[in-house]
Amino acid sequence: MKLPLRQHAHLYDPIIENIEDWPISKLNENREDFVNELTDWTFKEMLNRSIEKGTSINKIIENAVYYEQMRIKKDPWKVDPKDEKKWWKKIKKGLVQASIERPESKNLPAGELEKKLLKKIIHRYSDEIVGEFHSWYYRFVSNAFPVLFTFMLNASTGKARERFFGKKRMMKLWEKLQITGPFEKIQQLCKDHTIVLLPTHFSNLDSLVVGWAIQTIGLPAFNYGAGLNLLNTKFFSHFIGRLGAYKVDRRKKNIIYLKVLKDYSTLALTKGVHSLFFPGGTRSRSGAIEDKLKLGLLGTLFEAQRINLENGNLKKIIVLPMTINYQFVLEAQSLIHQHLKDTGREKYYIEQDYMSSTWKIINFIFKFFRVQSNMSISYGDPLDVFGNPVNEKGESLDNDGKIIDISEKFKIDGAYQANHARDSKYTQDLSDVVVSEFLRVNKVMPGHILAFTAFEYLIKTTKLDLYELLRFPEKELEINFTEFLGDFQIVKEHLLKLHKEGKVQLCEEFFGDTHELINQGLRNCGLYNTKRPIRRNKKGNFVTQNLNTLYYYHNRLEGYDLHKLF
């Protein structure tokens, strides 16, 4: 259902009026205690696992020291603590001392000195990861965001001052950012259970947009991860660091850091803190909806749910997929370049891109709201951790709508027990359900179908494979409009069929004139890119100035088998 139009920024009243009563606010009140609890929990878990698997704590610490010193030397950031080099040098000295005292320590269970070093590292990581939440900053941002962006939105007329201060009707922010979903159900579940929001991820703008979508339907602030690279910009660092974000440093790949990060997610969920994370791990490089999710953080949902059941906590972990739908993405060119360069691999990570400075982000936001291009946010149906639908009370339902008990799935011989192999299978199954839900609630926009049809037309007519086509000179490519129109109509009709079957969502332009749908796509597809992926020439045919970005926007419709139409 669409949000009703109301004459204020928050279209639904907050379900918990007092910010101090929000789970994330309560967590911040006891931040130091939480950091210590996380440290103790991770420390105990790592010691137990080292004994079970026969792994050496000495070697784990040695590995962390090596990779951290390499990171400090080769990839330092402004946001890094000033004592990084000195601190890790002390840890290394301590490790050397432990080896002198116990020459065979690499093959023995952890001694007291190794335990002390491990706990120090865990505590440092815990304190770094755990964010802060200040109600004053949240109130300021939540009130300023709609006002500022509404002003930007109406600036496109050239009469922003007259509209903002005069009697003319201002275009409302929610008319630009269209939100759909089962809002009342989500609100009720948020009161009684713990929500984990899983959005698709295409742009650095996503966190801002999702935050607005959360508060718009009256939900309290969510716990979320922010890439440490974003904190390199002073303006965003100042606010993000006070709005509940926990910090994620993708440069750190050692076992200790990754374990602290996972345990943080689990512990926060058991305390009822609503969370959001991008299950794709990072922005979609190809432009397609993520079809392979990162299972690390997703797996913490099962551990948190098991712990809740074990402790007699009736709160369920509720999974809530969401799709964010843009018609153009600022970073499209750099993202697709990386995808094409490293197809099939995810190790290469670009930190310096079109969103690398505060000014570029603000400039993009301003230009985004000036153009006549809508975007949509689609909430999916709430699910339990096994991908079953749930009712308003959070009760799990089978395919026939009957209530089912999921607690037995966490038991072994009648008792709740952790089982990594079992939970890994559960996590993969949940990932598959979330991907299917992404495709179902994805809203196709004019730019998506335009780019898809144009690129598929070029593949069909040139008879080249993907990389041969991408190497082909753009100046020699032209799309005959009459032939294109026939293909476009076939794709449109198939999407309308899928929509009728409940397998995809469509923007309202799909239900009108085909030529107007094409014109909307031309106005918006790749609008911010220097070289437009598709435009009309003097003969009325289509040409491209950048095949790579045309391919990027084409990929948004991957997953629906539309290429078979060609």
pLDDT at 53: 83
pLDDT at 358: 54
356 pLDDT more than 50: no
**How far are the Cα atoms of 162, 283, 367 from residue 155, in angstroms, in the given order?**
10, 29, 10
E strands present in 285-406: 317-325, 375-379, 396-397, 403-404
pLDDT at 5: 38
DSSP character string of 270-307: HTT--EE--TTSS--SSSSPPSS--HHHHHHHHHHHHH
138 pLDDT more than 90: no
Average pLDDT over residues 112-133: 95
pLDDT at 40: 98
**Residue (of 549, 561, 105, 116) closest to 335 by Cα position:** 549
**How far are the Cα atoms of 6, 77, 301, 421 from residue 417, in angstroms, in the given order?**
49, 41, 15, 12
Q: Are 350 and 338 in contact (CB under 8 A)?
A: yes
357 pLDDT more than 60: no
DSSP character string of 71-87: HHHHS--TTS-TTHHHH
Average pLDDT over residues 14-25: 93
Which amino acid type is present at position 283?
A: R
For residue 318, with 0-12 CB atoms within 10 Å meaning exposed, 13-18 middle and 19 or more buried, which class applies? buried
Average pLDDT over residues 386-415: 95
Mean pLDDT of the chain: 86
Query: What are the tokens at 311?
Result: 């402790």
E strands present in 157-280: 177-180, 194-199, 223-227, 245-248, 275-276
For residue 384, with 0-12 CB atoms within 10 Å meaning exposed, 13-18 middle and 19 or more buried, which class applies? buried
pLDDT at 101: 78
pLDDT at 137: 86
pLDDT at 243: 84
pLDDT at 362: 59
Q: Give 224's strand partners.
A: 245, 276
Within 8 A by CB and 6+ apart from 397, the residues are: 388, 389, 390, 391, 403, 404
Let me know the angle formed at the C-alpha of 81 by 79 and 87, rounded to the nearest 5 degrees: 150
For residue 471, with 0-12 CB atoms within 10 Å meaning exposed, 13-18 middle and 19 or more buried, which class applies? exposed
Average pLDDT over residues 206-219: 88
Tens-digit pLDDT profile for residues 222-260: 998 887 777 766 666 777 778 888 989 989 999 999 999
Q: Is 242 helix (H, G, I), strand (E, B) or coil?
A: coil
CA–CA separation, 464 vs 403, rounded Å? 53
Confidence of residue 112 (pLDDT cuts 50, 70, 90): confident
Helix (H) or strand (E) holding 16, with range, is: none
Which amino acid type is present at position 16?
A: I
Domains of the chain: 19-24+132-441 (3.40.1130), 443-565 (no CATH)
CA–CA separation, 521 vs 444, rounded Å? 11
Q: Give 275's strand partners.
A: 196, 223
Tens-digit pLDDT profile for residues 161-208: 444 445 454 455 556 678 899 999 999 999 999 999 999 999 877 887
Q: Give 195's strand partners.
A: 318
Q: Are 505 and 499 in contact (CB under 8 A)?
A: yes
**How far are the Cα atoms of 127, 135, 347, 391, 511 from residue 80, in angstroms, in the given order?**
13, 26, 22, 45, 52
433 pLDDT more than 70: yes
pLDDT at 404: 96
Tens-digit pLDDT profile for residues 456-480: 999 999 999 998 999 999 999 999 9
Chain centroid to CA 337: 20
158 pLDDT more than 50: no
Return the minimum-mean-pLDDT range out of 279-293, 320-334, 551-565: 320-334
Return the minimum-mean-pLDDT range out of 32-46, 80-94, 144-158, 326-340: 144-158
For helices 332-341 and 547-554, angle between their N-to-C axes, nearest 10 degrees: 90
Return the minimum-mean-pLDDT range out of 104-113, 371-380, 381-390, 483-492: 104-113
Phi and psi (nearest 5°) for 15?
-75, -25
Q: Which conformational region is residue 274 in: left (phi greater than 0), alpha (psi within -120 to 50 degrees), or beta?
A: beta
Tens-digit pLDDT profile for residues 97-111: 988 877 766 666 678
User: What is residue 11's DSSP assignment?
Assistant: S
346 pLDDT more than 60: no
Within 8 A by CB and 6+ apart from 311, the residues are: 270
Confidence of residue 290 (pLDDT cuts 50, 70, 90): very high
CA pseudo-torsion sign 551, 554, 559, 564? negative
CA–CA separation, 335 vs 333, rounded Å? 6
Q: Are 101 and 111 in contact (CB under 8 A)?
A: yes
